[in-house]
């Protein structure tokens, strides 16, 4: 199978991809967070092809993407008051709500469960595509299972060329970090995945929002309880990611430096993920250590936007070790640390 890439701004491109989806095809499309791999939510065979193309376990349900709240009655049984408040404040945007599902939603979408995840992406191409299809799009992130979520059409093609029917190219996604997932079917409402919308922003409207302590090590399914073995490292296949955490960034940088020297002396090639504030501390580490800036510590949105892209590119570079600095777990920092810890083979606390 050849996978055509349609520039989203070419006249007729959105309608063409909507036609592919109408015929049971599967296609990647941009959202404000990351690229999604969409199928008509009411076509179980098409949804099955999404699971197959990603190599995704069938027990992990998909998010339904809506053009707006007017699509909710098609997919959810009721909209509780808390959902109304959050929708009013944060849709369209990077917030996914888990609600009681409506009868018509195919079982494969929800992995057989009675709840369904819904969100309304804030991206004109995604909205136009869902409108043209006239139905919700069931879509996980458009990566092979275990790789970082893609933020460009090129990254989608790296993982899925030949496995999917089309890519709608809307350029790089703005946020680069997946949506926050909140379960409103339980009491108190509970965060199932940290993401682009901060817990602080949610708690302003939902003060009793619960964030389980082990959230950082889980992915709503396939999680290790506290005290059990660490979860299988994700995202970084060929290299070992070592994450150095600590409240004092100068001490973190000293430990990162010490380790970079040690790994290089042992014959490893090292990629060191630095920030604008710390990169100067690493400039003289020699040819075995490549220093890559992921943004500035005072601009965590920039770090979030660069993180997955950087992990992909250093992995491509064929290093043995990726050394990463930790970030304060406030605002977007919580989601950034969640993703870094999931990718890490080793976490060092300074
Ligand atoms: O930003 C995003 O959320 C992106 C874009 C494409 O919308 N999508 C995304 O989808 O990251 P995915 O499939 O990679 O992650 C969906 C998350 C998973 O953690 C999944 O377990 C959870 O949402 N989820 C989906 N349906 C659920 C349900 N019915 N109950 C609980 N969790 C659910
Ligand atoms: Mg994903």
Atom of ligand 1 at shortest distance to CA of 181? 23
CB of 82 sitting under 6 A from ligand 1? no
Contact 100, 76 (CB under 8 A): yes
Q: H or E stretch including 46? A: helix 44-54
Residue 107: phi and psi, rounded to 5, are: -60, -35
User: How confident is the model at residue 317, as a pLDDT?
Assistant: 84
pLDDT in tens, 32-63: 999 999 999 999 999 999 999 999 999 999 99
CA distance 260 to 263: 5
pLDDT of residue 218: 39
pLDDT at 225 over 60: no
The Cα 348–Cα 175 span in angstroms is 28
Question: Does the beta carbon of 310 sit less than 6 angstroms from any atom of ligand 1?
Answer: no
3-state secondary structure 124-170: HHHHHHHHHHCCCEEECECCCCCCCCCCCHHHHHHHHCCCCCEEEEC
Question: ∠ CA(269), CA(303), CA(139), 5° rounding?
Answer: 100
- Is the pLDDT assigned to residue 116 strictly greater than 90? yes
CA distances from 44 to 12, 64, 80, 98, 112 (A): 27, 13, 27, 20, 12
At residue 237, the pLDDT reads 66
Q: Is the CB of 92 under 6 A from ligand 1?
A: no
Indicate if the pLDDT at residue 18 is higher than 90.
yes
Count CB atoms within 10 A of the CB of residue 269: 16
DSSP 294-340: ---TT-HHHHHHHHHHHHHHHHHTT-SEEEEE---SSTHHHHHHHHH
Confirm or reject: Cβ of 178 under 6 Å from ligand 1.
yes
Model pTM score: 0.94
Residue 216 pLDDT > 90: no
Show the tokens assigned to 301.
């949105």
- With a 6 A CB cut-off, is 96 part of the ligand 1 pocket? yes
Mean pLDDT, rounded, of the chain: 93
d(CA 190, CA 211): 6
Closest C-alpha to ligand 1, atom 13: 140
What does the pLDDT read at residue 215? 58
d(CA 136, CA 213): 33
Is residue 135 within 8 Å of residue 42, measured between CB atoms? yes
Q: What is the pLDDT of residues 172-199, one digit of tens each?
A: 999 999 999 999 999 999 999 999 999 9
Residue 292 is encoded by which pair of tokens? 């890559």
What's the average model confidence in pLDDT over 271-283?
96
pLDDT surpassing 90 at residue 213: no
Ligand number nearest to the C-alpha of 219: 1
* Residue 201, CA distances (Å) to 97, 195, 206, 336 in order: 15, 12, 9, 16
d(CA 17, CA 118): 22
User: Is 246's pLDDT higher than 70?
Assistant: yes
Q: Which of 161, 140, 144, 159 is nearest to 54 (CA)?
A: 144
Is residue 122 scored above 80 in pLDDT? yes
Ligand 1 centre from 219 Cα, in Å? 9
CB distance 31 to ligand 1 below 6 Å: yes
Phi-psi region of 24 (alpha: psi -120 to 50; beta: other; left: phi over 0): left
Integer Cα distance of 229 and 219 in angstroms: 15
What is the average pLDDT across 110-139?
98
Angle at 188 between CA 338 and CA 34, to 5 degrees: 35
Number of Cβ within 10 Å of residue 172's Cβ equals 16
Is residue 61 in contact with ligand 1, taking CB distance under 6 Å?
Answer: yes
Q: Rounded to whole angstroms, how far apart are CA atoms 277 and 285?
A: 17
In this prediction, residues 56-75 reach a mean pLDDT of 97
CA 119 – CA 127 distance, rounded (Å)? 11
Is a pLDDT exceeding 80 seen at residue 96? yes
Mutate which of 96, 194, 339 to test ligand 1's pocket (most atoms within 8 Å of Cβ)? 96
Q: Which atom of ligand 1 is nearest to the CA of 94?
A: 1
Distance 98 CA to ligand 2 centre (A): 16
Task: Examine the pLDDT at 162 and tell me if it is beyond 90.
Answer: yes
């Amino acid at each position: 199978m050849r996978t055509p890439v349609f520039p989203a701004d070419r006249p007729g491109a959105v309608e063409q991809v909507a036609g592919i989806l109408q015929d049971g095809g599967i296609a990647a499309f941009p959202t404000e967070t990351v690229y999604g791999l969409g199928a008509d939510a009411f076509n179980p065979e098409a949804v099955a092809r999404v699971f197959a193309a990603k190599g995704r376990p069938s027990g992990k349900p998909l998010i339904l993407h809506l053009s707006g709240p007017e699509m909710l009655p098609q997919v959810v049984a009721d909209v509780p008051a808390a959902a109304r408040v959050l929708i009013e404040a944060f849709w369209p945007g990077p917030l996914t709500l888990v609600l009681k599902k409506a009868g018509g939603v195919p079982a494969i979408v929800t992995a057989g469960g009675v709840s369904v995840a819904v969100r309304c992406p804030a991206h004109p191409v995604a909205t136009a595509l869902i409108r043209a299809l006239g139905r919700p799009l069931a879509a996980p992130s458009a990566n092979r299972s275990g790789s970082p979520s893609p933020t460009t059409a090129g990254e989608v093609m790296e993982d899925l060329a030949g496995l999917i029917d089309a890519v709608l190219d809307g350029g790089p996604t703005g946020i680069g970090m997946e949506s926050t997932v909140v379960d409103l079917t339980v009491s108190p409402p509970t965060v199932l995945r940290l993401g682009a919308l901060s817990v602080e922003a949610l708690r302003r409207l939902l003060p009793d929002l619960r964030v389980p302590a082990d959230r950082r090590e889980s992915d709503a399914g396939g999680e290790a309880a506290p005290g059990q073995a660490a979860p299988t490292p994700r995202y970084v296949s060929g290299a070992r990611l070592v994450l150095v955490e600590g409240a004092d960034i100068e001490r973190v940088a000293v430990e990162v430096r010490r380790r970079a020297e040690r790994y290089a002396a042992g014959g490893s090639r090292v990629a060191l993920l630095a920030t604008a504030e710390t990169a100067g501390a690493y400039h003289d580490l020699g040819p075995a250590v490549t220093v890559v800036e992921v943004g500035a510590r005072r601009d965590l949105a920039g770090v979030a936007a660069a993180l997955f892209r950087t992990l992909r590119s250093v992995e491509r570079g064929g290093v043995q070790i990726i050394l990463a600095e930790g970030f304060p777990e406030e605002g977007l920092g919580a989601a950034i640390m969640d993703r870094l810890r999931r990718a890490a083979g080793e976490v060092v606390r300074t």
